[in-house]
Amino acid sequence: MKARVHVMLKDGVLDPQGEAVRHALGHMGFGGVEGVRQGKVIELDLSATDAASAEAEVKEMCEKLLANTVIEKYTIEIA
């Protein structure tokens, strides 16, 4: 079973890297990019076979390590 975790900065937390990417896109001639937010994707291979328990386990991983919930939010996909 695979899990994919998306970690993004919370809304309202300034993303200096995303802003730099937005400026670069503007310089390159891509008009109309009003905002860029940069995050990360973490893929996990799990031995679990039950989607619900896998999701619960990955949620605990997110809370304890994969995301810093002071500034980041996360979503989990199980497949």
Partner 1 sequence: MKAAVITFPGSNCDRDLSMAFAAAGADVVKIWHKETALPEGIDIIGVPGGFSYGDYLRCGAIASRSPIGQAVADFAGKGGYVIGICNGFQVLTEMRLLPGALMRNAGLKFVSKPLALRVATTDSAYTSGYEAGQEIVIPVAHHDGNYQIDPEGLARIEGEDRVAFRYVENPNGSVDDIAGVLSENRRVLGMMPHPERAIEPAQGGADGAALFRALSGMLATA
Residues binding partner 1 (CB under 8 A): 13-14, 16-17, 20, 64-66, 68, 70-71
**C-beta of 70: minimal distance to partner 1 in Å?**
5
CB of 49 to partner 1, least distance (A): 27
The per-residue DSSP string of 45-74 comes to: E-----HHHHHHHHHHHIIIII--TTTEEE
The CB-of-65 to partner 1 minimum distance in angstroms stands at: 6
Question: What's the CA gap between 35 and 44, in Å, rounded?
Answer: 29
Is 32 or 35 the residue whose CB approaches partner 1 more closely?
A: 35
Max distance between CA atoms of the chain, in angstroms, equals: 48
